[in-house]
């Protein structure tokens, strides 16, 4: 499993794709935080915080993470190498986890350089260090959980089709619904007193909860459950394969 993980990770880092993903994430977020005249612009806002990072990043993840995961199984199926892959002395879940963790590592590598924004604002504070560090680290951990959950969804979407574009679009749609969909529908009258329960099914509610700086075990369990669900769904899809 570890050798497959290394192979997957090196395939990202030995090609332009991995570096493009990292650069695009940093540039897009950086433009909104420092250049574009938006509500997230740190210099225009006048306060030492990077809340905009954690509002913008999930929407950037909605597109970048599917771009990372779309080739995981779709490319293997299209080229026919998936038959060789499953002849290895590994279980289906070990193969899935190797690809999953390789993708998660790339997401983390894209996110870590964003810490420079935190340290920049730390220095800009008056006095230096006048920033809500607890809220930042809570949001940062929440963003890691969110990225890991989106990655599990992307891996699942990649197993559904041998077309990378189809997998990419499916991953965006499923991720967008799980992140934003429940926020739109929970207030509908048909749900009555269950509206808050419906909202709690979405990732946005739990991401917002962690972003307050308090790591609640219920939020952690939720994200772990989402990851587990989609990884097992991936295993189910692959177990139905007919070569």
Is the distance from CB of 21 to CB of 11 less than 8 angstroms? no
- pLDDT of 243 reads 47
Is the distance from CB of 10 to CB of 3 less than 8 angstroms? no
**Residue 55 in this model has a pLDDT that exceeds 80:** yes
Q: Give the whole-angstrom CA distance, residue 120 versus residue 135.
A: 16
How much is the mean pLDDT over the chain? 83
Which pLDDT tens digit goes with each residue over 97-148?
Answer: 999 999 999 999 888 888 888 888 777 766 666 677 777 888 889 999 999 9
Average confidence (pLDDT) over 157-184:
91
Q: At what angle do helices 133-160 and 92-111 cross, to 10 degrees?
A: 140
Residue that has been written with the tokens 């999930």 in this structure: 58
DSSP code per residue over 116-133: HHHHHHHHHSSSTT-S-H
- pLDDT of 31 reads 85
- pTM for the whole structure: 0.89
State percent of the chain over pLDDT 90.
29
Q: Give the whole-angstrom CA distance, residue 57 versus residue 208.
A: 13
Q: Give the whole-angstrom CA distance, residue 160 versus residue 150.
A: 16
Is the distance from CB of 153 to CB of 174 less than 8 angstroms? yes
**Residue 41 in this model has a pLDDT that exceeds 80:** no
Cβ-based burial of 63 (10 A; exposed 0-12, middle 13-18, buried ≥19): middle
What's the token pair of residue 31? 């433009």
DSSP code per residue over 229-240: HHHHHHHHHHHT
């Amino acid at each position: 499993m570890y050798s497959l993980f290394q192979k997957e990770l090196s395939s990202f880092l030995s090609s332009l794709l991995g570096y493009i993903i990292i650069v695009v994430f940093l540039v897009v977020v950086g433009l909104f935080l420092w250049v574009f005249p938006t509500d997230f612009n740190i210099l225009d806002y006048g306060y030492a915080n990077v809340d905009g990072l954690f509002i913008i990043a999930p929407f950037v993840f909605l597109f970048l993470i599917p771009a990372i995961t779309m080739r995981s199984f779709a490319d293997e199926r299209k080229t026919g190498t998936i038959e060789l892959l499953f002849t290895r002395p590994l279980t289906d879940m070990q193969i899935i986890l190797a690809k999953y963790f390789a993708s998660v590592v790339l997401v983390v590598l894209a996110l870590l350089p964003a810490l420079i924004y935190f340290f920049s604002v730390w220095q800009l504070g008056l006095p230096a260090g006048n920033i809500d560090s607890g809220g930042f680290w809570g949001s940062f951990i929440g963003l890691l959980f969110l990225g890991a959950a989106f990655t599990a969804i992307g891996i699942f979407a990649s197993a559904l089709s041998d077309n990378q574009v189809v997998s990419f679009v499916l991953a965006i749609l499923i991720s967008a619904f799980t992140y934003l969909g429940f926020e739109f529908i929970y207030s509908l009258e048909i749900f009555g007193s269950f509206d808050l329960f419906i909202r709690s099914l979405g990732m946005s509610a739990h991401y917002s909860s962690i972003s307050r700086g308090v790591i609640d075990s219920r939020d952690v369990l939720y994200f772990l459950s989402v990851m587990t669900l989609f990884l097992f769904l991936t295993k189910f899809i692959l177990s139905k394969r007919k070569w």
